[in-house]
Structure 1
Amino acid sequence: MRLSSGSSEALFPHCLEQVASRLEPSEEYLRTLELRAGEVIAALEKAVEQLGLSHVVKALELQGSLARDTWLPDDVDIDIFVLFDSRVSAEELRELTKRISERAAQELGAGLETRYASHPYYVLKLRDLEVEVVPAYRVPSPAQAVTPVDRTPFHTNYVREELSKNPALKRDIRVFKKLLKNLRIYGAETWVGGFSGYLAELLVIRYGGLQRLLREIASWKPGRVFIPPTEEALRFKGAPLVVLDPVDNRRNAAAAVTRDALLKLIAAARLVAQREDLLCCFLEPPRADLDESALREALAAKQFLFVKAESREGMPTDAFKGRLSRVQRKLKSKLEEEGFLVYRAKLLDLKAGPLIAVELDQEDLPPRKKHIGPPVWSANALSFLEKWVRARSPVFVEGERWVAVVPRKHRRASEVAAALLRAYKDFEWHTLDAESLLQHYTRPEDRREIYLWALGLEEWMLCFQ
């Protein structure tokens, strides 16, 4: 199958034609989603009119991947933007969108949830669908954007225009998004650190199709990729990946991509370059069936630290996971600082709540540790000697510094975690052993995620079995 029309390149594996066709939404499903989006827009329009806000709400528009026809059947984004007059204050923007969303939720019989990105937005929870209601300003150009999301209508127009020139690229985009999703690097959220849907679209458009894109990615090196290679792009030197936003070249559209996420994509692209048939497997990998006894064996065979948090303030989900991802990084650093060898650490995004998971070399450290003191010529050497000699600790010179062998304050990883986490008073923390972990996370999909993580695998890696 040729993934982009007009290309003279060699074909991808035949199996990809079947995979790509399964990612193509049916016309019937598309019409259903458009109808549902229209119903929500009508409810929002009615709310705007009833609240007497027609003079400040300039438009209600469908945005996101559904508007651009680049969505995945199992990951539908219905984003409706409430575009305000730019004279409305940021505080009014939030408050008025909340009132509009509440009135529309009543009209639709929907639940309502507040989430956060650069500023609050609202999610209408319908019976089988979620619709995001996003406040933004109607601005004449991206250069006059007040908030980051003010650029989104310009992004939608740009992508639509480019895809109108080559509609076959929509298929390439869906395949690329599915690849990113299976590699666990799809999403610009702080706890993912991956590729946004818009960035995925830009890359496929830039290289004219998936095949050339993957070939280029296989040759990338973090910190050395500038798209396009211009003086404007060099302003972002130091970022793992630089992709200038074509609607506003003051912005790096790849700013959220971490070095680890980029390296994982490069690794996958290089593997596909060696064996093209791997691409189909990465897109539809073998499913790892949950084995309860194997799960318990995996948890017992290694040293793990699991930490679950509950927000005392009822923090919105997105903000909650963002905070936890930062805590996870600090916990890893603190454990290493105390002398633990941390093999890996990750925030697992589970249905029953996010979980900080850490694998260590050991559960307990020796009772004493080396404490590196000042250089021998430092004025602080005297106080160092007085303190530790009086404490009857061995003291000696090693290299250019005084060193003392001192008792550890914390020997167990759980104690180190507890001491660190006490500073985060807006959370209630729970350190879980294997048994309490399995008592809390009972859903099969959660246990599968924990099982895979305990094994140190992701499903796409099963392609090498």
Structure 2
Amino acid sequence: MTQVLDQARKITIPTKQEEEKMKTLSDFLLKLVKDEVTKHSEVVSVELGGSYAKGTWLRGQMDLDIFVKMKKETDEKTFEEIGKKIGFSSMKKFKPYVRYSEHPYVEAEVKGVRVNVVPSYDVEHGNWKSAADRSSFHTRFILETFDQTKKNEVRLLKKFLKGMDIYGAEIAKEGFGGYVAEVLVHHYGSFANVLEAAANFTSGQIIGNPTKKFETDLILIDPIDSNRNLGTAISTQNIGRFMLSARAFLKKPSLVFFTGTKLIPNAKNLKNIIIVKFNYKWRSPDIIWGQAKRGATALSGQLELAGFQILRKSVITDEKSEAAMLFLLRSPVIEKFMVKNGPQIYRRSDSDNFIAANSKNMLTWIDNDGKILSMKEREFYDAKKFLQFLLKKNLSKSGIPSGISLDIKRGFKVIDGSQVTSKSIKKALAELTSTDGLVFSSHK
């Protein structure tokens, strides 16, 4: 393992050139924000946060978080307005746009570096008014408790999580965020120790000292706030991938766990894929991802009610104008006829009601257990045709969020896996139809 980790450090720890670039760029961008801040008396200070400020950022992955701290008396509406105004004004040369967490913040890309200008309140420890208020305390905590060795252990863990495609706390990924990686290393001491622990996680695993009860698959307590569970944002699937990846790496360490592998769609499963594809008017990535995920859940429920069995579902968006909801079905075409189970013949009232409700069915009979059964022809037995009808004729009852209903009204396509041409949808298709050989390793 030592040799593999030495190799991983070479592709994980930033070069001197990258460090110099980030220092120059952070000074420049910090000044742009500070110049704008002078126009607003509500602002107390401006400071760097995130992985760069903590010294846990990855080689080739340069992000910069700039926090605008406002007086705690500032009302929420003013807080959001000033936050956006400062963000847009300071980043105006770099095509800024709004993203959303608990509150809106401004993001831009400057010389290949993603920059976030985030409003927060200047509060005392524990008196949080917004989620972003903890960030400066997180930075201080890491700087006070981590030496350079530990920071590099965090980098190894982040790179591993990226390689396994489970890195990122945003709604698009529902994975392990940067601060989660830092807290795991803080708790277990090293990258290897984190993997040893993850390989043996139990259901409802508790890491840290909670002061209240949480009900999530992984309970990871924020060291600076015992009431906050960092595991809430991590999906069950990603926790599972982390556990299996840890076990596989410990059995047979390899650099490929840090670099990742490219999945290829399994042709055998493509015939069972149904995709609802649509274009949307641009909005914050966090919003469209959330809407698409809720839409996929709604359509999955409708398909199940219609008799189709959903094995897996996924969503994808290019974060510009295209989105899709993908479903892997046991079969996209089911039996033309369905049998409805009725009551026992001894339950007179229920029997009468069942017979009346199914009087027009093609066949009704009593089985050997004394139950009344009735066979009818399904209205839809082809999943593609069902979704086309539902979205075209019955959209209001589909459960699709209102946020994307208008987009779907403007037009959509229902296609199968073999008809995909979009690069982003192909990637989602590969993840949905293929077995990840690294995660599901059979090494003993």
Q: Shared topology, TM-score over 0.5?
A: yes
Match of 1:272 among 249, 255, 258: 249
Q: 1:8 corresponds to which residue? A: none
CA contact (8 A) 1:182 1:460 kept: no
Structure 1 residue 380: Cα displacement: 4.3
Scaled by the length of structure 1, what TM-score is found?
A: 0.83
Structure 1 residue 100: Cα displacement: 1.6
Q: 1:25 corresponds to which residue? A: 14
- Which deviates the most, 149-158 or 361-370? 361-370
Aligned equivalents of 2:129, 2:433: Cα separation in 1: 46
Q: 2:135 corresponds to which residue? A: 152
Post-superposition Cα deviations, 1:113-152, rounded to whole Å, max 9, x if no partner, equal 11111121111233533211111111111x2111111111
Q: 1:250 corresponds to which residue? A: 227
CA contact (8 A) 2:276 2:326 kept: yes
Match of 1:62 among 43, 48, 63: 48
Q: 1:343-354 to 2 correspondence within 5 Å?
A: 343-348=311-316, 350=318, 353-354=322-323
Aligned equivalents of 2:442, 2:427: Cα separation in 1: 19
Q: 2:292 corresponds to which residue? A: 324
Q: 1:137 corresponds to which residue? A: 121
Give the percent of matched residue pairs that are identical in Structure 1 and Structure 2: 22
Q: 1:364-375 to 2 correspondence within 5 Å?
A: 364-373=333-342
CA contact (8 A) 1:298 1:451 kept: no
Structure 1 residue 361: Cα displacement: 2.6
Give the letter for the 1:155 counterpart: H
- Which deviates the most, 83-92 or 29-38? 29-38
Q: 1:48 corresponds to which residue? A: 37
Structure 1 residue 448: Cα displacement: 6.0
Match of 2:207 among 223, 227, 236: 227
Whether 2:306 is the aligned partner of 1:338: answer yes
Q: Where does the alignment leave 5 or more consecutive residues of structure 1 unmatched?
A: 1-11
Aligned equivalents of 1:436, 1:247: Cα separation in 2: 50
Name the SS of the counterpart of 2:231 in structure 1: coil
Match of 1:188 among 169, 177, 180: 169
Compared with structure 1, are the counterparts of its residues 64 and 452 closer, same or farther at alpha carbon in structure 2 (3 Å cutoff)?
Answer: same
Structure 1 residue 200: Cα displacement: 0.8
Aligned equivalents of 1:159, 1:150: Cα separation in 2: 16
Q: 2:283 corresponds to which residue? A: 315
Compared with structure 1, are the counterparts of its residues 378 and 255 closer, same or farther at alpha carbon in structure 2 (3 Å cutoff)?
Answer: farther
Post-superposition Cα deviations, 1:428-451, rounded to whole Å, max 9, x if no partner, equal 23323456521xx1x4xx476256
Scaled by the length of structure 2, what TM-score is found?
A: 0.87
CA contact (8 A) 1:372 1:403 kept: yes
Aligned equivalents of 1:88, 1:76: Cα separation in 2: 32
Q: Where does the alignment leave 5 or more consecutive residues of structure 2 unmatched?
A: none
CA contact (8 A) 2:244 2:439 kept: no
Compared with structure 1, are the counterparts of its residues 183 and 38 closer, same or farther at alpha carbon in structure 2 (3 Å cutoff)?
Answer: same
CA contact (8 A) 1:299 1:454 kept: no
Q: 2:327 corresponds to which residue? A: 358
Aligned equivalents of 1:390, 1:341: Cα separation in 2: 27
RMSD (CA atoms): 2.8
Structure 1 residue 262: Cα displacement: 1.1
Name the SS of the counterpart of 1:152 in structure 2: helix
Aligned equivalents of 2:442, 2:314: Cα separation in 1: 23
Give the letter for the 2:33 counterpart: L
Structure 1 residue 99: Cα displacement: 1.7
How many residues matched?
A: 428
Aligned equivalents of 1:32, 1:126: Cα separation in 2: 12
Match of 2:357 among 372, 387, 401: 387
CA contact (8 A) 1:189 1:322 kept: no
Whether 2:430 is the aligned partner of 1:452: answer yes
CA contact (8 A) 2:274 2:417 kept: no
Structure 1 residue 400: Cα displacement: 7.8
